[in-house]
Structure 1
Amino acid sequence: MIALPTDKVRIDGDCILWVAGQYKPSGSPMMRVNGRTRRGHRAVYEDTFGPLAPDVCVFRSCQQAACLEPSHMWSGTRADKKRWDREADHTVVPERMIRHV
């Protein structure tokens, strides 16, 4: 996993929350990786699971916008996310929606 500076994260339960730069208004983490500013979820996801196609998005099962815990992330299309939003239990990501592309 990308080495996250300890002064820029806070542990909250099983979430790793990014407390440095954030994309407004969503609160999603923004970070510098190899000299480039990147969206934190995508950077951590790709570092952990491998590259993603441009049309694939990274989502979080914990619903914490600032969370960078890889085990809370899943990838899919925007249509996958809309289907997941309609699910009653957001604590479990249905296996059919997990794509490590």
Structure 2
Amino acid sequence: MKLIDGKKRNTEEDFWGKVLIPDDSNGCWLWLGYTLSHGYGTMRYGGKNRRAHRLAYEFTYGQIKQAALVLHLCAVKNCVNPLHLYLGTPHDNAQDSINDGTMARGISHGLTKLKNNEVREIRLLASGGLSQRQIAKKFGVSKSSICKIVHYENWGHI
């Protein structure tokens, strides 16, 4: 830590001091500092709380555009090995989550209005001839949501 303007500030050296680099430097470099509840490392740097993998990328490759996301090739959330990181878009990030099996689905997604048993009931009602409009009204969701459930575009894992 360095004293800047009378305040203690983390440095790049402090950052790398919180990283476990294995003998095989091609493996994951694990962040040993503070981690958020969902597994990503974080550190206060430059007066802001920053994601550890984003800092690792910036320290290695230079400043990145604010809109760019730093994504993992290895799917290890607390990995900060610059060789395992790349820049991507929100779409790339969502696709990675799907491919890695880490995307929240169904009741695991915090914003869902339905439960697994209701999804099964929706499909049963639709196969029995009840209109999607009637089903949507019964469950308090949109007709397009019912259509996607019935055609397995949403809730395909149920």
How far did residue 86 of structure 1 move? 5.5
The answer for the alignment partner of 1:62 in structure 2 is: 74
- Identity among equivalent pairs (%): 31
The secondary structure found in structure 1 opposite 2:74 is: coil
The secondary structure found in structure 1 opposite 2:91 is: helix
Q: Tell me how far apart the structure 2 counterparts of residues 85 and 30 of structure 1 sit (CA, whole Å).
A: 20
Unmatched 5+ residue regions in structure 2?
1-11, 101-158
Q: 1:78 to 1:16 in 2, by over 3 A?
A: same
Q: Report runs of 4+ in structure 1 exceeding 4 Å deviation.
A: 84-88
Please report the TM-score for the alignment, with normalisation by the length of structure 1.
0.67
**When you count helix as a share of all residues, which structure comes out higher?**
2
Letter in 2 for 1:18: W
Q: How many residues align?
A: 84
What root-mean-square deviation, in Å, do the aligned CA atoms of Structure 1 and Structure 2 show? Answer: 2.3
**When you count strand as a share of all residues, which structure comes out higher?**
1
Q: Tell me how far apart the structure 1 counterparts of residues 56 and 20 of structure 2 sit (CA, whole Å).
A: 16
Letter in 1 for 2:31: W
The secondary structure found in structure 2 opposite 1:28 is: coil
Please report the TM-score for the alignment, with normalisation by the length of structure 2.
0.46
